[in-house]
Amino acid sequence: MVFSRAWYIILSVSLAAAVFMLYLATAVSNRNAEHASGKLLTATSRSVYWYLTDDARRRASALIELSVDSDIQAGLSKANEADSLKTVDQGLRDKVAQKLAAFRSKHDQAGGLRFYALWAVDRQGRVVASENYADGTDSEHFEMGGYPIVADAIHGWIRDDTWVLNDQINRIVAHPVETVVGGEPVGAIVASSRVDAQVAQKISDSTGAAVAFYAGGTTKDTGAPKGFSKSLLEVTSKDLAAVEADVDYQKKGRTTPRVLRRNVGTDVGVVFARMPGEAWDQGAGYVVGHRHARLSDPLEFRKLATDSDNKSVPLIFIILAAVGAALLGLFFSLVEHTLPLRGFSGAIKELADKHSKVDVLKPTTFRGAYKRLAANVNDALDKAASAAGVERGPADLESVLGPLPAKPQMSAFAVPESTPGPRDKPPKKPELPTTPESPNEDDDLLKTQLAGAQTADVAADVPDEGSVSSKPPVTGSPPAPPRKKAPLSDAPADPADEETRWPQVYADFVALKKQLGESTDRLNYKKFRGTLQRNKDALIARHNCTRVKFRVYEKQGRAALKASPVIDE
């Protein structure tokens, strides 16, 4: 069953290789997904920063409209001349406030750049007028000159910054107000836009990533694409404490990609970044996140596959390959297992049939393990018959030697075996095994086989074929069998050379046993010779013959020896 077993090995190795490749593909997929997600998160984090910066520039450009307004310029100029804002004409301050309100209302209605609050400050940073800043503080005592962005603006610079006002993140832009181009500014316009949920969602829609802004150790506002739960970006004080300890966050303002949440089949990768401006020192920042698939086992590939993925699989080829492999395996099993088993079963059934003439299996008709099994069955039958005292071999001479003629036949050219010819040379004596004498079941088998042959020959009381006797045949004895060609292991005519043929008989016996699939492991020449000698002595004493010759032949599917007494004049 070489091919069947080899096919099992091939299939097992193929299956193991396929499972190994699937798990390897899972690990590679997870690593690539995490790497790609990290690249995407880093790029998205930069995109959010660029969005905030670009938004500040556009807002600063929009403030040009207020910086060139004559009413605002006049109001700020009068405020610069007064020691106290209380001495400034209230009408001028109201006009400035009206301009700020109209500007904010116009942009709110346009739906583009929305401003949360506006301030007009003089050269000293005092708030001359404001719009939508209701913190309960009297504008007389509210001064913004201490903010770096305001100080830069009243010195002619356009700046943007991030403040945390009333526990809310605000993006701030400031634009100088000049009455003469290139001249000293008379003040500045400061505008704020809150980073609320609407702004966060707008950023998410623009970048395609989920983004959440945090300050004071908690998440403020979150924007996320469709299908992404905003709760996945909820950060805690513990998360922010770990972020603050990150070296990249402290030096570069941005962490390396990391996993914030691990869910079944999905990881949420994030990158934390600081908000630009003063809010950096107040712990304000934002976090961008993406979900990427994480496979715990190869079966989860099926869950992630889309229709296009399924269509790309060569399913027909896979099915044909599987069917072909199965059919090939069945063919090997049929040839090497099923058919030999059926043949062996049929032989056993015929052996068990009481009407069948078969009483022994022939190992040479089987292959592989069934040949040895047939020999073992024969051994078992012989052992059972021996234990029951039943002789399984034929007991009559005709069964052993074949049909006998009515009268003895002798060739006119027969030469007595006692007269060796010039070409009759004893064969070269083969090397004999030196296995020490030990109990051997083959010796018992040899005795049984010899005993059966002796019984047949002795009962006939005639010399074996090939021998010539000058004595008349005994009355009542059956005629001599027809002459047959003697095997190579027949003894020579010269009695002195009789034992020189026994090594050849032993070699022929071993060769026939191997040919019939019988074991020869415990068979040695020393015990073989002893058995021949004992049978020779018994036959000589019983039949008063001069010598005994032994012949190797097949009996009932097994190797056997026939001992024949030879009577010379």
R_g (Cα) of the chain, nearest Å: 57
The helix (run of H) or strand (run of E) holding residue 130 is strand 127-131
* β-bridge mates for residue 551, sequence order: 562
Q: 467, 448, 319: which is closest to 393 by C-alpha? A: 448
Q: 554, 512, 506, 494: which is closest to 533 by C-alpha? A: 506
Instruction: State the number of CA atoms in the 13 A half-sphere of 330 facing the CB.
Output: 6
pLDDT at 488: 41
pLDDT at 159: 92
Burial of 15: CB neighbours in 10 Å, binned 0-12, 13-18, 19+: exposed
| Contact of 146 with 125, CB cutoff 8 Å | yes
Helices within 175-246 (DSSP H only): 197-207, 237-244
| Contact of 233 with 212, CB cutoff 8 Å | yes
pLDDT at 39: 85
List, in order, residues 6 or more apart from 159 with CB less than 8 Å away: 148, 149, 152, 153, 173, 174
| Strand arrangement of the beta sheet that strand 127-131 belongs to | 127-131, 117-122, 187-194, 168-177, 159-165
Instruction: Give the number of other CB atoms < 10 A from CB of residue 467.
Output: 25
- In sequence order, what E strands does 155-311 have? 159-165, 168-177, 187-194, 210-215, 218-223, 258-263, 266-274, 285-293
Query: What does the block give as tokens for 31?
Result: 């690593």
| Contact of 509 with 356, CB cutoff 8 Å | no
CA distance 189 to 525: 123
The one-character DSSP state at 406 is S
Measured CA angle at 133 (ends 128, 135), to 5 deg: 110
Residue stretches of the chain with pLDDT short of 50:
136-139, 394-445, 447-449, 451-493, 496
**Tens-place pLDDT, residues 178-208:** 988 878 999 999 999 988 888 899 888 888 8
Instruction: State the number of CA atoms in the 13 A half-sphere of 399 facing the CB.
Output: 12
| Contact of 174 with 187, CB cutoff 8 Å | no
pLDDT at 103: 94
How long a stretch of residues is the chain? Answer: 569
CA distance 495 to 347: 45
List, in order, residues 6 or more apart from 350 with CB less than 8 Å away: 356, 358
| Contact of 92 with 74, CB cutoff 8 Å | yes
pLDDT at 393: 53
For the chain, the first-to-last Cα distance in angstroms comes to: 59
pLDDT at 33: 77
pLDDT at 189: 95
Instruction: Give the number of other CB atoms < 10 A from CB of residue 160.
Output: 19
CA distance 488 to 503: 12
Count the helix, strand and coil residues of the chain and give each as a percent rounded to the nearest 5.
Answer: 50, 15, 35
pLDDT at 176: 95
CA distance 503 to 498: 11
Domain 63-194 maps to which CATH number in 3.40.50.1220, 1.10.10.60, 1.20.1250.20, 3.30.450.20? 3.30.450.20
| Contact of 76 with 128, CB cutoff 8 Å | yes
- In sequence order, what E strands does 35-113 have? none
3-class secondary structure, 340: helix
Task: Give CATH 3.30.450.20 domain extents, the chain.
Answer: 63-194
pLDDT at 392: 57
